[in-house]
Amino acid sequence: MAGRNDLAELLDEQAAYYRAAAAEYDEHGLPFSGGDELSEALDAFRPTGSVLELACGPGTWTGRLLRHATDVTAVDASAEMLGIASARVGRQRVRFVQADVFGWRPDRRYDVVFFGFWLSHVPSERFASFWSLVADCLKPDGRVFFVDDGYRTVEELIEGEDSPVIQRRLNDGTSYRIVKVPYQPEDLEQRLERLGWHIKVHPTSGPFYWGAGNRARPPQP
Ligand SMILES: C[S@@+](CC[C@H](N)C(=O)[O-])C[C@H]1O[C@@H](n2cnc3c(N)ncnc32)[C@H](O)[C@@H]1O
């Protein structure tokens, strides 16, 4: 995609976009069906025990996780997003952590790691290290659940369809470059398998998909 500095710059711009977009985030939801299927799948998965939520945003999923979880640690780079999330779900049984997922290290292990609409924003160059972080966050029998979509509009494709870099605009027209990788569920499943994960990725009736599973092999001590 780009050199090391370019990638760091792009990831900074992506984080800046979400900081600036926090107040209007809910206005930018995708106008498609299939979202309910994700919530139903998450309830059926039952994220019990101690749950880590990466890139929690304004708490879109935190409340639903708390229906099952004993406690949730919710990480996001944006103080603005975390402010909205804590106003929504409160701080009982939730620990909010402001951190850059690409540099953050866990201080304990979790029963479940969850991320909603985050994986598609992880650039290819950071895919393996991101999943290595997920492994380091999980107890030996820990489980993973994620939801996402591969939807990109024609206007967003400023570098063409083959590029993972797209442009997003705020309501006031300000533009930002972010990463949006349009995974196909089957390809994603195979890519995860090559990294040692046993994760089934399910498409929905809309552009969304969800994945659930665990490490195929126990991590080496
Ligand atoms: C598409 S939103 C998803 C929010 C929420 N999980 C949801 O499903 O609605 C992506 C989130 O990632 C956060 N984010 C962006 N870059 C990040 C980074 N480097 N580390 C941690 N969070 C980051 C943004 O602040 C934003 O809240």
Across the chain, how many H-helices and E-strands are there? 6, 9
Query: Ligand 1 centre from 201 Cα, in Å?
Result: 21
Give the pair of three-digit tokens for residue 25.
């985030």
Query: Ligand 1 centre from 77 Cα, in Å?
Result: 7
Nearest ligand 1 atom to alpha carbon 53: 6
More confident call, 220 vs 86:
86
Nearest to 191 by CA among 138, 136, 119, 98: 119
Q: How confident is the model at residue 184 (pLDDT cuts 50, 70, 90)?
A: very high
**pTM for this prediction:** 0.95
CA 203 to chain centre: 16
> What letters, b where the CB count within 10 A reaches 16 and e where it falls short, cover 92-103?
eebebbeeebbe
Q: What is the pLDDT of residue 146?
A: 98
Q: How far apart are CA 176 and CA 134, in angstroms?
A: 27
Supply the mean pLDDT for the chain: 95
pLDDT at 217 over 80: no
- Which phi and psi (to 5°) does residue 7 adopt? -65, -45
Instruction: Tell me 127's DSSP state.
Output: H
User: Of all protein residues, whose CA lies closest to atom 23 belonging to ligand 1?
Assistant: 77
Q: What is the pLDDT of residue 94?
A: 98
Q: What is the pLDDT of residue 32?
A: 74
Superfamily of domain 4-152+183-214: Vaccinia Virus protein VP39 (3.40.50.150)
Please report, for the chain, the start and end positions of each structural domain, with discontinuous segments joined by +: 4-152+183-214
* Residue pLDDT, tens place only, 3-49: 668 999 999 999 999 999 999 998 887 777 778 999 999 999 999 99
pLDDT at 135 over 70: yes
Per-position DSSP letters for 62-97, written without gaps between them: HHHHHHHEEEEEEEES-HHHHHHHHHHH-STTEEEE
